[in-house]
Every structure is written in C-alpha cells, then in structure tokens.
Amino acid sequence: MREIKIDTSFTVFNSIAELSEDVQSLMKQAIAIRKKAYAPYSMFRVGAALLLDNGNIVLGSNQENAAYPSGLCAERVAIFHSGANYPEAKILKMAITAASDTNETKSPIPPCGACRQSIFEYEFKQNNPIEIYFMGESGEVYKSDSIRNLLPLSFDKNFL
C-alpha cells in the first residue's frame, strides 16, 4: 500500500478591483449575464464568460427546466456555444459568478463536477490550460491556472 498526495493551489483576490482590467471586464460580463439566468426552481443564478484566443467573448447563464435534470449550467452553456460557433478557437480565460435569490453568497462558488469535466475536455482538446476565475456575488475571487487544480484526477479519452 502507498499513499498519493495531491497538492493544489489558487490565487485569491480580495475583490474584483484587484483583477487585471481584462479579467475585471470578463467578470463584469459574467455578472451581467448571471442576472439573466433562468432559475425559477433553484433561485441560484450563475453566469460565465469566456475569453477566446480570437478575441471573442462567449457568455452563458444557467438554464433550468421543470423536467430536472434537463437544464444546463452556465459554464457548459458558454463552453458548448464556444465549441459550436468557434470550434478552432482556444478558451484562454473563464470567469464564473454565482448568486442566490434567497441568501447572500460571499464565498467563491466553483464549477460543479459535470462542468469541471466539460472544462477539462476543452482544456485537453486545445492542449492549453484555461485560467478560471470564480466568485460568489461579491467578495473574494479565486483564480486557478488550470482545471487540473479543481479536477486533479481527470478522465480523458486515453482511458477509453
């Protein structure tokens, strides 16, 4: 028997104001699209903004459905839109923000497991890390240099 230790690290910014101008702009767009989320069941709104290497910004918000789990998370809405409309473009940065209609979310909210796997798929496909910034509705912003910090034991096509 042996033990494997996996270390991960994040950069923590005290607020959006500490981010670079391009990331501030990306996060502000994620906040704006978050407010347009269709979340009548969970009352939990998520927005995502992607910066592509061609300069385009792709937005996504969560879209719920009464026939749960037919809805889709903001991150996957944005990633899949990017893949469908800009299949050759690389995703450089992703900004994610989440807020509840019922209580204040000050802690950074990371992507769910399904979104982590989807982000990983695109990072693997493009053979280039995606910077991921995530926050609640206010407060600290966490930065990960790659999805591998959030999904260290990842599953890819090499296992198939």
**Would the pLDDT of 108 be above 90?**
yes
**Would the pLDDT of 124 be above 90?**
yes
CA distance 39 to 29: 18
CATH class of 11-151: alpha beta
Provide the mean pLDDT of the chain.
96
Q: Where are the domains of the chain?
A: 11-151
Global pTM value: 0.95
CA distance 154 to 42: 28
DSSP, collapsed to helix, strand or coil, labels residue 102 as coil
pLDDT the model gives residue 158: 85
Would you call the peptide bond into 111 cis, given omega within 30 degrees of 0 as the criterion?
A: no
Please answer whether residues 134 and 106 qualify as being in contact, where contact means their C-beta atoms are separated by less than 8 angstroms.
no
Is 75 among the catalytic positions? yes
CA distance 157 to 160: 5
Q: Catalytic pick from 75, 88, 121, 137?
A: 75
